[in-house]
Structure 1
Amino acid sequence: MSKMDPPGVKPYDGPAGGWGALHAVAKAIKDQTAVTSDVRALLKANQPMGFDCPGCAWPDPDHRSSFEFCENGAKAVAWEATAKRAAPEFFAAHPVAELWTWSDFDLEKQGRLTHPMAYDTASDRYLPISWDEAFTRIGAALRALPDPNMAEFYTSGRASNEAAFLYQLFVREFGSNNFPDCSNMCHEATSVGLPDSLGAGKGTVTLEDFDHCDAIFCIGHNPGTNHPRMLATLREAARRGVPIVVFNPLRERGLERFASPQDPIEMLTMRSTEIASSYYQVKVGGDLAVLKGMMKTTLALDAASLASGGPGVLDRAFIAEHTSGFEALAADLEGTEWAAIERQSGLSRADIEAAGAVYAKASRVILCYGMGVTQHRHGTSNVHQLANLLLLRGNIGREGAGICPLRGHSNVQGDRTVGVTEIPDEAFLARLDAAFGIASPREKGHNAIETVEAIRDGKSKAIICLGGNLAVAMSDPEATFAAMRKLDLAVHIATKPNRSHLILAKESIILPCLGRTEIDVQETGPQAVTVEDSMSMVHASRGGLKPASDELRSEPAIVAGIAKAALPQSKVAWDHLIADYSRIRDKIEEVFPDFFNFNERIMQPGGFRLKVASSEREWRTPSGKANFIPAEGLAEDPAVGADALVLTTIRSHDQYNTTIYSLNDRYRGITGRRDVVFVNAKDLSARGLKHGDAVDLETVPADGAGGAPRRMRGLTAVAYTIAEGSVAAYYPEANNLIALESYDHRSGTPAYKSVPIRLRAAGA
């Protein structure tokens, strides 16, 4: 960036965190005009007797301070605890046709939903209805379907274990396994890939492992924005001299330096802690090449050590006892040329070998990764390679070592654990059926991509969304929005209005639910729910604020209400379960043995950790061992022309998934706008463009995924520290560049991080 910066673009020179974070927290609270309740809520965030932050899934430390929240967690709490209300009067004043023209930011800014609402075609407005009428209409529409599999049941990771368990129970008694889930759009490649490699689809590390590691590798994630509480953990490791090696296309401030708002010395002296010891700007789509290069380096160092009479670098005892497939991996690496690795990664051999040397020297390595790895056409294979690298030196099932997928929503992992999956196994279904006397369906259900395809093709006619903003979050909004408008029934369980609510079915209903911060009172009194973080820790969450409206109901109660209406002869005692959530947990324990003594263990401060078999070197794979799985070639995505750039979608700092808190992106120097594309200055110059120019993006069809070119017009080019050949634009605005057919066919994860495009002057 330069003195000729366009409006709203100015370099940010500060660290992540620091006074900028405190100012942002104060502003977020002030903007939501609920200062007293927001501050009271924040003091209970991530505390033993408080609520779990509705933001990211980073675990809580045992040594909790009075302030266990980050800047973006505070924004999430303020957004939920807002004094603003989207009451019936709001909908009466604004027809849906008008609301459609509003920005997503302005829609959610209206505040909390307060009443059940149903769309009225004659007035083009949502009108209030009673809960009884809402349940009656939903139940009648579901019962009218010729086949239960003509309904889809989406789940957001915000839902608690109790709500998710009841939801999957209702759907399976109804007769379907159609569970499109937010996991399908982010870490499904992890949920599919890690079981192939390690036998379990979860990370193997605990937060305490970071106290014992001697190297950390961060690949394809941005903690400063997407999981800020991780910065405190990385800071502690950096301050004790642990090398932190980063591979990321963009220079992200949270991976460069961090000033802890809880450290008075850093705050008063305006100092900060350097995070990355080495920062390599890999090209978008170059992670697979980097991983193969690091493994190739590890094998070369092993051979050199043995040749000089040393012990070698590989953990041969571990490989022999615990793994299979090493020879095939070694042969693949031997046949992979360094020139191809350099070309695909955008990094030099010397850089990759330097990173590989750090890995080979360390005894205990943690590898952290995010959606920069998973959201590719071959994202599952990428996850296999991460596991391969760790297995070479026995870095699974060892203190201070392991694999750390960075999940998004605070209970996205827990939803899966308690049964929200389109591919349930027989053992689980048998236990569920025995616990409730039902007969669950056995056929595979739909994931998110398959859901949109089924609706588009007229094979599904109803959808219920337990939270989220599915239509906006999905790739290819043109195809997704058109499909959703074909539905007979759309039900949205939500806290705030969003654009998905405006994509109308023949019958559209919005059901307002309690937020994580609010008191949930049922027949036996105030209730706690539970969540599972990204390291398999399960703990209780108890809201403490007065609900935004007396009309709000909890997600478990709403699920039960729909179930009773749709299944008049249900075998489940829904009212009994809802009266006391401990009864739901008793049933979770009955169906999932790893939750033994569930109600007792959540009384412990911090909760308890579920068993992750691979953490204990128990490999639940068909071979009974961890598997080395080679990847074919080096391309994470289909090949494109030499003149093409590869675009990755990114979140701004004032954003959480599709929720946009403001139009600012502080760490990237953007204020008051989102219509920008980040480009390397050399790539701009090569196309006769410069910083601040108006540009258009046009997709380059590849391997049948893309069809006719898709375009984004009139963006402002921002010269940025991003790898050559790579560009970045904001999600979800850039989703229109991603064809519905562009996804990982193993996991169903859309390829949000690998869009081949051409960059031109606007209107050219």
Structure 2
Amino acid sequence: MLLFSSRKKEGNEKPWKYSIIYKEDVGNKPIISPQGFLSLSPMPAHNHLHIKDKPKVSVGPTSVANASRMILKAMPPWKALKLLSRLNQKKGIDCPGCAWPDPEKRSKVGEFCENGVKAIAEEAQHKLAGEAFFKQYTIESLRKQSDYWLGQQGRLSQPLIKKEGSPRYEPIEWNEAFNLIGDHLKSLPHPDEAVFYTSGRTSNEAAFLYQLFVRKFGTNNLPDCSNMCHESSGVGLTETLGIGKGSVTLEDFEHAEVILIFGQNPGTNHPRMLSSLEKAKRNDAKIIVINPLKEVALMKFKNPQKIKGWISKGTDIADLYLQIKINQDVALLKAWLKLLLVDERCLDRKFIAANTEGFEALKADLEQHSLDDLISQTGLSKEDVLLSSHWLAASKKIIACWAMGLTQHVNAVDNIREIVNLLLLKGSIGKKGAGTCPVRGHSNVQGDRTMGIWERPTKAWTDKLKDAFNFDPPESPGYNVVEAIEAMNQDKVKFFMALGGNLLPAAPDTLLTEQALKKCDLTVHISTKLNRTHLATGKTSLILPCLGRTDKHIQNGKEQVVTVENSMGVVHGSHGSLTPPSKHLKSEPEIVASIAAATLGNDDINWSGLIEDYDNIRDLIAKAIQGFENYNERLKNDNGFELPNGARKGEFNTPSKKAVFSINQLAESIPEGHKYVMMTIRSHDQFNTTIYGMDDRYRGIFGGRNVVFMNESDMKSEGLDKEDVVELSNHYGLERKVAGFTVVPYEIPQGCVATYFPEANPLVPLHLTARKSHTPASKSVGVNIRKL
């Protein structure tokens, strides 16, 4: 069986060494992927990878220098200065990276981070990928390039079509593209044969029009990137607190006594959070980090906005770093709960009695567990668990933060609900300096859900839409991401459309996802740049180039404002400042409205009239969504406005109107026959599926991404040395193997390994998902490792 192969170096390309094999247990002939395609980034030859010592501090001057280098490589200095001076400022550009909120008082030095600058450099790069580019490259030749290379080819400059049987994309007129989509949708036997995916970078205005069009078309097939990241947070928080969003504000960090950080790496994914943690430390907050990997940014931080950040040794962030085994967070939380219940003075009895239900059942459940057994499961020392519980016992204001390290497991919803149990026990909900803080990724992923991008809308939502627009929205659940991939593979869906995003590298089970997309009759992508999913074409495929967050939106000669919602429920505007790089680009709202008009015809919504002024769209939003009353008027506040949040006030929109203590399961064991638990992670030169470069300097990795981080004791037991090349495999119904990964010794608990996504996504089974939220369990995948 071929597991490791290479091809000759051609031109300036780096040689690849990668193969992926899927083999059915029933003995069917193995499927060997097209060489190179499923290596979503080409793996440089072994001698191109350099492993160095990790830095001892994060951010600081090195981060500033790296950000400057990246943006000046992408654009001239005048353009860079213009963009950065407006980035995250009032009446400026909302960063297209993460959703961390902006402080009321903005830094004049620069209200942005290194990875925000990288996002801007990618979006606003001077280079264009136009007609000449697509004449030069066939789709097959583009598949052989890395994701990093694809992203560096420039902004898409005109609409493109891949006709059935054609090997390449070629230009198409806008009206022809809109009519092609409309005609195809109208010809489908049932609306549910179409899927409409959404990225979290989409504006409120575009997202609202998109969901309105899709529901008027007749389906709830609105999967989005939330399905793959914080869906578990939304489910767990809604069940226990009555709202699927976090309850804290940015100001709460200045009043917290203890901050818990679960499964999160802010230094890479949302670096501006480090400034909030620095302020909390100044106010004597204790910070407890619960994470399998030792992350530099959670150890020490140098704030480049301050002179001290340039000349000092930096601020220590973690008071206690708990390197827990992968997905043993419920065991730790149960241990803490048992320890707190020993002394009732540690609890907020008044809050529990007045505002919660299920407390006695929780106590009874905890009695079934041995404290020593729980601590043993975590892999932590008893001393560290006792010390951290002591800090929790002595505190009344506790903030719990988390990211995908908690949300991408089979028991992910249990993880979130157990955090809520801890906060309810302490009365740390609905008070200053305390509460829940799920830290979102994409800049408007929370806003998209607020706008109705959701495959399972509530009846209250559909009733409101019905009243506002006088039609009967579909009420049956649509497909989430995993269900949509399954439906495409089963020929139940023949049309796929993506409003932004890059589904293929983001999704699990890469080969099955690629096959699913290729089975569609028509695939449509609204994008700013070329990405991997554009190359998994349906029989016919369209790429519709759109304006980015940095571009001016001009409609009827008037500059328009788009809006977003940050991670803490504040809605504010984003004002593009650059002249669009091509006259052929259209805004996302205009593209969506044009497709709606071509599909639905002259219904009771004047789609073209809506986009003449985005105020018209916001008037519709105000009419349909609670909390957006007087939208346009309230948007005049430069700081935006806060959406209703009952949990923030200690009010719970559950059936009982009380917060709910819940009974949660410990993590399941990985299937028998697997030796290690693998989690997929991002590198520092990456945001979601966008690869900014081939380095991960905070982990000492340079020049490559096909690596596996291992505990040195595990390496010894496998007979492995640093930089050995290995194969990773598992068997969840299908045998999955990836080869060509370099071993990197790292501080990670025994029995646990980490790899980058999307490179290791072929090992994540499509059916391995979280209960209730259906999120792919990319953070707890059983694997075996073999030296090649």
**TM-score normalised according to structure 1 size:** 0.95
Corresponding residue for residue 89 of structure 2: 47
Instruction: Indicate whether 1:435 and 2:468 are aligned.
Output: yes
Structure 1, residues 523-545: CA drift from partner, whole Å, max 9, x if none? 26100011000100100111001
Deviation at 1:7, TM superposition (A): 4.1
Deviation at 1:679, TM superposition (A): 0.5
**Contact 2:74 2:125 (C-alpha < 8 Å) held by counterparts:** yes
Instruction: Indicate whether 1:197 and 2:228 are aligned.
Output: no
**Contact 2:260 2:399 (C-alpha < 8 Å) held by counterparts:** yes
Corresponding residue for residue 527 of structure 1: 560
Which secondary structure does the structure 1 equivalent of 2:563 belong to? strand
The within-5 A match list for 1:504-543 is: 504-523=537-556, 525-543=558-576
Corresponding residue for residue 765 of structure 2: 739
Alpha-carbon distance in structure 2 between the residues aligned to 1:261 and 1:465: 37
**Contact 1:34 1:81 (C-alpha < 8 Å) held by counterparts:** no
Which secondary structure does the structure 2 equivalent of 1:709 belong to? strand
Alpha-carbon distance in structure 2 between the residues aligned to 1:265 and 1:343: 41
AA of the residue aligned to 2:299: E
**Contact 1:438 1:571 (C-alpha < 8 Å) held by counterparts:** no
Deviation at 1:569, TM superposition (A): 3.3
Instruction: Indicate whether 1:74 and 2:117 are aligned.
Output: yes
1:721 aligns with one of 701, 723, 747: 747
Which secondary structure does the structure 2 equivalent of 1:191 belong to? helix
Corresponding residue for residue 343 of structure 1: 376
Which secondary structure does the structure 1 equivalent of 2:375 belong to? helix
Deviation at 1:341, TM superposition (A): 1.3
Corresponding residue for residue 756 of structure 1: 782
AA of the residue aligned to 1:259: K
Alpha-carbon distance in structure 1 between the residues aligned to 2:395 and 2:713: 36
**Contact 2:49 2:701 (C-alpha < 8 Å) held by counterparts:** no
Deviation at 1:295, TM superposition (A): 1.1
Instruction: Indicate whether 1:17 and 2:59 are aligned.
Output: yes
**Contact 2:220 2:477 (C-alpha < 8 Å) held by counterparts:** yes
The within-5 A match list for 1:403-442 is: 403-442=436-475
AA of the residue aligned to 1:15: V
Instruction: Indicate whether 1:119 and 2:162 are aligned.
Output: yes
Alpha-carbon distance in structure 2 between the residues aligned to 1:622 and 1:344: 35
**Contact 1:6 1:692 (C-alpha < 8 Å) held by counterparts:** no
**Contact 2:55 2:697 (C-alpha < 8 Å) held by counterparts:** no
2:341 aligns with one of 286, 294, 299: 299
Alpha-carbon distance in structure 2 between the residues aligned to 1:35 and 1:736: 40
Deviation at 1:109, TM superposition (A): 1.0
* Cα pair distance change 1:524/1:432, threshold 3 Å: farther
Corresponding residue for residue 273 of structure 1: 315
**Contact 2:164 2:540 (C-alpha < 8 Å) held by counterparts:** no
Structure 1, residues 563-593: CA drift from partner, whole Å, max 9, x if none? 0111113221112211111111111111112
Instruction: Indicate whether 1:626 and 2:659 are aligned.
Output: yes
Farther-moved stretch of structure 1 (37-46 vs 255-264): 37-46
**Contact 1:513 1:552 (C-alpha < 8 Å) held by counterparts:** yes
Structure 2 unaligned segments of length 5 or more: list them: 1-45
Which secondary structure does the structure 2 equivalent of 1:261 belong to? coil
AA of the residue aligned to 1:333: L
**Aligned residues, how many?**
742
1:675 aligns with one of 706, 720, 731: 706
Alpha-carbon distance in structure 2 between the residues aligned to 1:593 and 1:504: 39
Deviation at 1:6, TM superposition (A): 8.9
Alpha-carbon distance in structure 2 between the residues aligned to 1:315 and 1:745: 31
1:238 aligns with one of 271, 277, 281: 281
**Contact 1:589 1:597 (C-alpha < 8 Å) held by counterparts:** yes
Corresponding residue for residue 324 of structure 2: 282
AA of the residue aligned to 1:162: E
Alpha-carbon distance in structure 2 between the residues aligned to 1:131 and 1:5: 47
AA of the residue aligned to 1:624: K
Which secondary structure does the structure 2 equivalent of 1:535 belong to? coil
Structure 1, residues 58-97: CA drift from partner, whole Å, max 9, x if none? 0000110121000000110111110011111101100111
Alpha-carbon distance in structure 2 between the residues aligned to 1:149 and 1:709: 32
1:645 aligns with one of 669, 676, 679: 676
Alpha-carbon distance in structure 2 between the residues aligned to 1:756 and 1:456: 25
Deviation at 1:605, TM superposition (A): 1.8
2:403 aligns with one of 357, 370, 382: 370
Deviation at 1:642, TM superposition (A): 8.1
Structure 1, residues 174-221: CA drift from partner, whole Å, max 9, x if none? 001001100000000011110100000000000011111111010100
* Cα pair distance change 1:446/1:414, threshold 3 Å: same
Corresponding residue for residue 733 of structure 2: 707
Corresponding residue for residue 306 of structure 1: none
Which secondary structure does the structure 2 equivalent of 1:493 belong to? strand
**Contact 1:54 1:409 (C-alpha < 8 Å) held by counterparts:** yes
**Contact 2:48 2:703 (C-alpha < 8 Å) held by counterparts:** no
**Contact 1:693 1:717 (C-alpha < 8 Å) held by counterparts:** yes
Which secondary structure does the structure 1 equivalent of 2:462 belong to? helix
Which secondary structure does the structure 1 equivalent of 2:343 belong to? helix
CA RMSD of the aligned region, Å? Answer: 1.4
Deviation at 1:343, TM superposition (A): 3.1
Instruction: Indicate whether 1:33 and 2:64 are aligned.
Output: no
Alpha-carbon distance in structure 1 between the residues aligned to 2:699 and 2:93: 31
AA of the residue aligned to 1:21: S
Which secondary structure does the structure 2 equivalent of 1:279 belong to? strand
Instruction: Indicate whether 1:555 and 2:561 are aligned.
Output: no
2:640 aligns with one of 607, 615, 622: 607
Alpha-carbon distance in structure 1 between the residues aligned to 2:80 and 2:339: 51
Structure 1, residues 130-151: CA drift from partner, whole Å, max 9, x if none? 1001001111111110000100
Which secondary structure does the structure 2 equivalent of 1:593 belong to? coil
**Contact 2:232 2:407 (C-alpha < 8 Å) held by counterparts:** yes
Alpha-carbon distance in structure 1 between the residues aligned to 2:410 and 2:630: 41
Which secondary structure does the structure 2 equivalent of 1:736 belong to? helix
Alpha-carbon distance in structure 2 between the residues aligned to 1:130 and 1:707: 46
Alpha-carbon distance in structure 2 between the residues aligned to 1:332 and 1:533: 37
Alpha-carbon distance in structure 1 between the residues aligned to 2:737 and 2:165: 35
AA of the residue aligned to 1:136: N
Alpha-carbon distance in structure 2 between the residues aligned to 1:569 and 1:121: 30
Which secondary structure does the structure 2 equivalent of 1:605 belong to? coil
Alpha-carbon distance in structure 2 between the residues aligned to 1:33 and 1:529: 24
* Cα pair distance change 1:726/1:5, threshold 3 Å: farther
1:173 aligns with one of 186, 211, 216: 216
Alpha-carbon distance in structure 2 between the residues aligned to 1:475 and 1:200: 28
AA of the residue aligned to 1:489: L
**Contact 1:95 1:123 (C-alpha < 8 Å) held by counterparts:** no
2:519 aligns with one of 470, 486, 490: 486
Alpha-carbon distance in structure 2 between the residues aligned to 1:740 and 1:212: 42
**Contact 2:597 2:608 (C-alpha < 8 Å) held by counterparts:** no
AA of the residue aligned to 1:755: V
Deviation at 1:643, TM superposition (A): 6.4
**TM-score normalised according to structure 2 size:** 0.93
Alpha-carbon distance in structure 2 between the residues aligned to 1:734 and 1:661: 18
Alpha-carbon distance in structure 2 between the residues aligned to 1:553 and 1:427: 34
**Contact 2:227 2:774 (C-alpha < 8 Å) held by counterparts:** yes
Corresponding residue for residue 253 of structure 1: 296
Corresponding residue for residue 385 of structure 1: 418
Structure 1 unaligned segments of length 5 or more: list them: 303-311
2:152 aligns with one of 109, 122, 140: 109
* Cα pair distance change 1:694/1:337, threshold 3 Å: same
Alpha-carbon distance in structure 2 between the residues aligned to 1:450 and 1:626: 31
Deviation at 1:240, TM superposition (A): 2.7
Instruction: Indicate whether 1:63 and 2:114 are aligned.
Output: no
Instruction: Indicate whether 1:318 and 2:351 are aligned.
Output: yes
AA of the residue aligned to 1:252: E
